[in-house]
Structure 1
Amino acid sequence: MVARQIHLVRHGEVHNPDRVLYGRLPGYRLSELGQQMAAAAAADLAGRDIRYSALYASPLQRTQESAAPVAAALNLPVQLEPRIIEPSNHFEGKNMREALKQPSNWPALINPMRPSWGEPYRSIAARMIAAMNDAWETAAPLADGTDGDIVMVSHQLPIWTTHNALAGNRLWHDPRQRRCALSSITSFSRFGGTFVETGYTEPAASISAHAVDLGAV
C-alpha cells in the first residue's frame, strides 16, 4: 500500500533561556508555550477530514514531546525516524551573537552555500526525501483497506530544505527567510514518483506572537 499525503510538522517552542543554538544537543525540551503549540498542531491534524496510518518523529526530545499530543489525538504510536533529525552544526551550544565575534569560529562560515558550518543541504534533502519515500511505500492500509496519511515531526531546517529541494529551488538561503513557523504543518502528495507540496498551515499562529524562535540550526 501507499499513503495519501505526508505532513511534516515542526516542533513547538523550546525552553532555551541561554539563547544558544541547541542543534542536536540533548535536554532541550518544549517550553510551556511550546507544549500549547504542539497541542494546536495535533488539534489541527485531528480536525481535518483525514484518517492517518502512521506517525514518525525525530529522536530529539523536542520532537518526541511535540509528537506526543499528535499520538494521543490520532491514536497512533510514535515511530522513531533518525533520518528526519536536526542537522549537526559547528555552533551547537553557542550563543550566535557572541560566537560570530570570535575569529576562531570564522572558518566555519567560509562557504554558506554548502554550508561549511554543518551538514550539507544536499545531504539533508536526500535523507529527508528517502525517509518520506520509505514511509510512503511501507504505509500499512487502514482497517477497511484504504490508504491513510502520514505525519512526520521534524525540525525547521530539514523541512525547509525539503521544500526547496522538491520545489526545484536553490538549497542555500537566508535562515531568517524560512517559511516554517513553530508547530507549522507542511503537506505533500506524490505524483508520478515525485513529492509535490500541497499545503502549509500555522495552527499555533494565534499564540506565537511572543514565542522565542531561537536555537534552530
Structure 2
Amino acid sequence: MATTLFLVRHAVHGLVDQVLCGRTAGVHLGEAGRHQAAQLAWRLGQARLAAIYSSPLERAQETAAIVAANARLDPVIEDALTEIDFGAWNGRRFDSLRDDPDWRRWNTERGTARPPGGESMGEVQARTMRWAESASDRHPDGAIAAVSHGDVIKAMVAAVLGLPLDHYGRFEIGPASLTTIMLWRGGASLLRMNEAVA
C-alpha cells in the first residue's frame, strides 16, 4: 500500500520575489493567486483526495480553502507544513539582504546555515518528513494534498531523492505548482515535480 501525496506550493501573492515573507502574518492571495488556486482545485479534483492539509499561514490556507471546497473537504491546519522560520529576516525585502554575509551563506550552504534567530533547513526537513510519514500511516493507499511553501517542499524533495540540502537551488518549486510523491512504510519516490497547472 502507498499514499499519493500532492505537495502544493501556495498560489501567488503580490510580494513574491520582492519580500522574504517567511512567517509574516497578513500576506494574502490576490486575484491572480485566487485564479491559480481555482486551477489547482480543478486539477486536484481528478485525484479523489481523502484529505487536504495546510500550513497555518494565510496564503496557504486561502489556497487550501479553494482546493478543499472543490473536493468537498475541510482543510486541516498542520503546523509542520508552515514556512521556514527566517528569524530576523522575516518580512525583509530581498534587496536589503543582498549584502548580508549570513544571507549569502544561507543561500550557498543550506545544509549547515541558519537564519539569525530562525531554524535550519535540516530542521524543516525533519519536521516535514515526520509529518509525511504520519500522514501516510493515516491514509494508506489514498491520495492527500498538502499546501505549503517553496523551500519547505524543496526540503521534502531533497529527502525523498537523497540529495544534500546544499543542492536545493538545482530545482525550482514555483507558486501554485504540484509536486507528487508516493510514500510507503520505509520508502518514498518522486513521481512529478513543479507541475504547473495555471
TM-score, normalising length: structure 1: 0.80
Partner of 1:33: 32
Is the contact between residue 108 and residue 116 of structure 1 (CA under 8 Å) also seen in structure 2?
Answer: no
**Amino acid corresponding to residue 138 of structure 1 in structure 2:** R
Aligned counterparts, 1:67-216, within 5 A? 67-89=64-86, 90-101=88-99, 105-110=100-105, 112-113=108-109, 114-117=112-115, 118-139=118-139, 147-173=141-167, 175=169, 177-191=170-184, 193-200=186-193, 201-204=195-198
Deviates more, 1:74-83 or 1:189-198: 189-198
Deviates more, 1:25-34 or 1:85-94: 85-94
Unaligned runs of 5+ in 1: 142-146, 205-217
Query: Identity, % of aligned pairs?
Result: 30
- Alpha-carbon RMSD across the aligned residues, in angstroms, is 2.2
What displacement does 1:92 show? 1.6
How many residue pairs match? The answer is 191
SS of match in other structure, 2:3: coil
Greater share of residues in strand: 2
What displacement does 1:173 show? 3.6
Pick the structure with greater CA Rg: 1
Deviates more, 1:125-134 or 1:165-174: 165-174
Greater share of residues in helix: 2
Deviations 1:87-119 (A, max 9, x none): 011322211212334xxx434544542223242
**Amino acid corresponding to residue 81 of structure 1 in structure 2:** E
Cα distance in 2 for residues equivalent to 1:126 and 1:9: 18
Is the contact between residue 125 and residue 156 of structure 2 (CA under 8 Å) also seen in structure 1?
Answer: yes
Cα distance in 2 for residues equivalent to 1:67 and 1:15: 18
Unaligned runs of 5+ in 2: none
TM-score, normalising length: structure 2: 0.87
